[in-house]
């Protein structure tokens, strides 16, 4: 598998609260609402939003070797894409009711977003949502929205 492309617009997810990275407007645009709930995850801090039949999980993986490690261990159906200029991995079900993006925001940090919804365009919803979420992450050394 080829190496992960260099990330030029590096973001710092370490110490960020994933529940603070998604605004109410961004949630509404994804067909979700309400407050996120912190849930335990092996990968790192995770926030979950549930609304109707859908759920969004946002996880910050900051203690690993980044997107290269995830790519090496991904499913054969996972594809490499670019999302808002960042290298990412896209995994989805055939009917599109589940979609996950693993987005490399630095050499060692990944933002993981998974959407499960009855709408068959879950990847399209995440493609609209994630650029704003990534913009809410600070550049290294800058204070973030929750710091």
Q: CATH number of the domain that 93 lies in?
A: 3.40.1000
Q: How far is CA 28 from the centre of its chain?
A: 17
Nearest to 81 by CA among 104, 60, 64, 98: 104
Confidence (pLDDT) at 145: 55
Q: How many CB atoms lie within 10 A of CB 129?
A: 22
In a domain, 1, yes or no: no
Task: Walk across the sheet containing 54-61 and list its strands.
Answer: 37-39, 46-51, 54-61, 110-116, 98-104, 86-92, 79-83
Q: How do the pLDDT tens digits run along the chain, 147 residues long?
A: 567 788 989 999 998 999 999 999 988 888 888 889 999 899 899 999 988 778 999 999 998 778 988 888 888 888 999 999 999 999 987 777 889 999 999 999 999 999 988 766 888 889 999 999 999 999 887 776 554
Quote the domain boundaries for residue 22.
Answer: 18-135
Decide if 83 contacts 34 (C-beta within 8 A). no
In a domain, 6, yes or no: no
In a domain, 111, yes or no: yes
Confidence (pLDDT) at 72: 87
In a domain, 107, yes or no: yes
In a domain, 43, yes or no: yes
In a domain, 92, yes or no: yes
Confidence (pLDDT) at 147: 45
71 vs 98: CA distance, rounded Å: 19
In a domain, 124, yes or no: yes
Confidence (pLDDT) at 12: 94
Number of domains in the chain: 1
In a domain, 118, yes or no: yes
Confidence (pLDDT) at 2: 61
Query: Taking the model in full, what pTM does it have?
Result: 0.90
């Amino acid at each position: 598998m080829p190496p992960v492309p260099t990330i030029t617009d590096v973001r710092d997810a370490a110490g960020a609260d994933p529940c603070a990275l998604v605004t109410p407007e961004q949630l509404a645009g994804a067909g979700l609402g309400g407050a996120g709930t912190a849930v335990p995850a092996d990968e790192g801090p995770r926030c979950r939003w549930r609304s109707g039949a859908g759920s969004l999980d946002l996880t910050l993986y900051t203690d690993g070797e980044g997107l290269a490690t995830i790519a090496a261990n991904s499913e054969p159906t996972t594809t490499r894409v670019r999302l808002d200029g960042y290298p990412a991995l896209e995994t989805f079900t055939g009917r599109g009711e589940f979609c996950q993006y693993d987005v490399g925001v630095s050499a060692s940090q990944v933002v993981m977003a998974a959407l499960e919804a009855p709408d068959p365009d879950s990847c399209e919803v995440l493609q609209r949502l994630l650029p704003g979420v990534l913009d809410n992450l600070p550049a290294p050394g800058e204070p973030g929205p929750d710091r």
